[in-house]
Chain A
Amino acid sequence: MKTETEMRSVTVSTRKKRSLTKDHMLAIGFLIPSILLVGVFVYGFIGWTGYVSLSNWNSLVPDFSFVGLKNYLYLFSDFRFQADLRNTFFFTIIFILAVIVVGQFLAVLLDQKIQQESLFRNIFFFPMALSFVVTGVVWQWLLNPSTGVNLFLAKLGLDSKWYTDTTIFPAIGWGKIEFGIPIAMIAVVIAAVWQMTGFSVAMYLAGLRGVPEEVREAARMDGANEFQVYWKIIMPILRPITVSVIIIMAHISLKIFDLIYAMTGPGANFVTDVPGVYMYETTFRGNYYANGAAIAVVMLLAVAIFIVPYLWSSRKGEA
């Protein structure tokens, strides 16, 4: 807003009024290709996908005859898709909670004026530079039921089947599936958390560094112990960061594809399947384009629930 008014006053006051408006036209001109590209390739294509999801195109040959919500009705009564919704639901919740808790814990540890801070920081950050495919390949082996971490756990008398476990807990009958936490998903969550906590550590660390020492000091003067300082003073200050972390992690986990595709695939009984994997397989392996488009639309809506209010509120903040 400030810049806009400044700009206007300059426009009026300077002698080169005409050339400035010409420059403004030029500025907008440079923006137009991007606007068109985003308009067509994001919004236009979303519209087209929406249209395909209402069509009969479920074979190699495109067939755009309108069938209404048929594909959606099929999906929501489909065992695999119901399992996907359950898996995504629990994956998202456990993943976000873990990223927040572990991230904040690590950030607090790093914020204690420790020696070798940058070394430790880099150890927690570097997995973010890796691809989900690499992470998937490595963790597939680490959490392999007959190898890896299990060699240690077996010595402790624990035995886990990790991502091959088909147990659903607590397994409440719901639609065609059993509702509950798919135990196999825990393995995927561990890999995802390993890769992504660096992000929340970086965010929280930046936040912690932004809290003025006087604030903490004042609380201590009032008799707060260190735990209370963190709980009552620091945590509320970090709340906006937590909101950002939740939004960013939610959109990553709702559309996750490569990690699961590389690490476990859909799994027995689809215990580790997610909409991203289903969409890929049904569309590009099975040629069920309309079904794939319907899955994509459901994914988009799920992401939009988180993202649109977030974007809209920050837009208002700027204007």
Chain B
Amino acid sequence: MAIRSFTRPILYFLLIALSCFYLMPVYVMIITSLKPLEEVTLSQMWQLPTSFDFSSYSEAFTKLAPNLLNSFYLVIPATLLSALLGSLNGYVLSKWKFKGANTLFTVILFGMFIPYQSILIPLIQFLREIGLYNSIAGLVFVHVVYGIPITTLMFRNFYASIPDSMIESAKIDGAGFLGVYRFIMIPLSITGFVVVAIWQFTNIWNEFLFAVTITTSDQQPVMVALQNLSGSQIVQWNVQMAGALLAALPTLLVYIFLGKFFVKGLLAGSVKG
């Protein structure tokens, strides 16, 4: 299994060196965010702060708090709705296949690869038309619609692993389309829901293009507000780094506690089963 010519110390040296590279941005982010502004100078960039100063956090939090809330108002309903929709679609496309179902699935799947710039102009016209432009509800709608391909893909692959025989026997017992879904699929798809929910939560939280084009000022999610922080006057790097950390915290926490499911989603979304 192991490369024998690799001696262990070299192996660990490489791993640790590369880990340092991957952690370097986090180190700089944390130490910078804890410094008072006068210590945030170019020459002291890599040095630890002389004393901990949390004022950049309170400043970043005051500026970003409304947008953090917006992000939660956006992400929670969007995640739940798109998971539900994806689960129904995945159920139909894996267990109630009809002629052309695979082709239809491919046609739906294409939607997850398109550059969203190619639908953005009509989308904004449409949202203005129905009065959802510049609203969190509008963004929820957008993320549910453009989340259909990926959530359908994930659930379809997930349901493919549930044996057809289980469904057949439930049908013989008299369960119909909804009965099978309610009593067989849902109880068996808790993991599937967790994986899809984490995936959608992370993606929608981090999304920028829709957020910056569909909402303005007080309706904006946190990523847009974070980007705007650097656009204003002189960049206060300590506040900027504290803001970046705050904005990244929810998805980072999800990763730390539920990383296993995140990676599952990652693989499920790319390798077609």
Residues of A at the B interface (CB closer than 8 Å) are 3-4, 6-7, 10, 14, 16, 19-20, 22-24, 26-28, 30-31, 33-35, 37-38, 41-42, 44-46, 48-49, 52, 106, 108-114, 120, 122-135, 137-142, 146-148, 151, 194, 199, 202-203, 206, 213, 216, 225-227, 230, 244, 248, 251, 254-255, 257-258, 261-262, 275-276, 279-280, 283-284, 289, 292-293, 295-297, 299-300, 303, 307-308, 311-312, 314-315, 318-319
Contacts and interface: CB of A to CB of B under 8 A. Distances in A.
A300 B102 CA distance: 23
B118 A31 contact: no
B14 to A, nearest CB: 6
A130 B148 contact: no
A279 B124 CA distance: 14
B45 A148 contact: yes
B272 A296 contact: no
A134 B85 CA distance: 30
Contacts of A244: 270-271
B146 A147 contact: no
Interface in B201-225: 202, 205-209, 212-213, 223
Given A148-B45, A262-B208, 6 more contacts: A10-B168, A125-B263, A151-B43, A226-B4, A307-B110, A307-B113
Interface string B104-119: 1111111101111111
B148 A34 contact: yes
B92 A42 contact: no
A105 to B, nearest CB: 9
Nearest to A199: B266
Contact of A312 (B5, B29, B106, B244): B106
Best-surrounded residue of B1, B18, B22, B176 (most CB of chain A within 10 A): B22
17 contacts: A26-B176, A109-B15, A127-B22, A128-B262, A129-B248, A131-B208, A131-B248, A133-B227, A134-B244, A141-B32, A141-B240, A202-B266, A230-B3, A276-B115, A276-B117, A292-B117, A318-B272
Contacts of A109: 11, 14-15, 18
Given A257-B208, A279-B117, A315-B103, A37 B148 contact: yes
Contacts of A131: 205-208, 223, 247-248, 251
A57 to B, nearest CB: 9
A19 B173 CA distance: 13
B1 A113 contact: yes
Contacts of B212: 280
Contacts of A45: 118-119, 122-123, 126
A34 B172 contact: no
A226 B5 contact: yes
A222 to B, nearest CB: 16
Contacts of A52: 121-122
Nearest to B224: A133
B252 A126 contact: yes
A38 to B, nearest CB: 5
Contact of A311 (B6, B110, B230, B259): B110
Contacts of B6: 112
A283 B23 CA distance: 37
B122 A3 contact: no
The 7 closest A-B pairs by CB, nearest first: A131-B206, A255-B115, A27-B96, A129-B255, A45-B119, A258-B208, A296-B117
A151 B245 CA distance: 24
Interface of B: 1-6, 11-12, 14-15, 18-19, 21-25, 28-29, 32, 42-43, 45-46, 85, 88-89, 91-98, 102-111, 113-123, 126, 145-146, 148-149, 152, 164, 168, 171-172, 174, 176-178, 202, 205-209, 212-213, 223, 226-227, 230, 237, 240-241, 244, 247-248, 251-252, 254-256, 259, 262-263, 266-267, 270-272
Given A109-B11, A130-B206, A299 B46 contact: no
Contacts of B117: 255, 257, 275-276, 279-280, 292, 295-296, 299-300
Contact of B119 (A33, A49, A138): A49
A308 B111 CA distance: 11
Given A30-B92, A124-B22, A131-B248, A308 B263 contact: no
A31 B255 contact: no
Contact of B46 (A139, A151, A199, A283): A151
Given A131-B205, A255-B117, A4 B97 contact: yes
Best-surrounded residue of B1, B85, B95, B152 (most CB of chain A within 10 A): B1
B2 A48 contact: no
Contacts of A254: 115
A233 to B, nearest CB: 13
Contacts of B256: 126
Contact of B106 (A19, A230, A311): A311
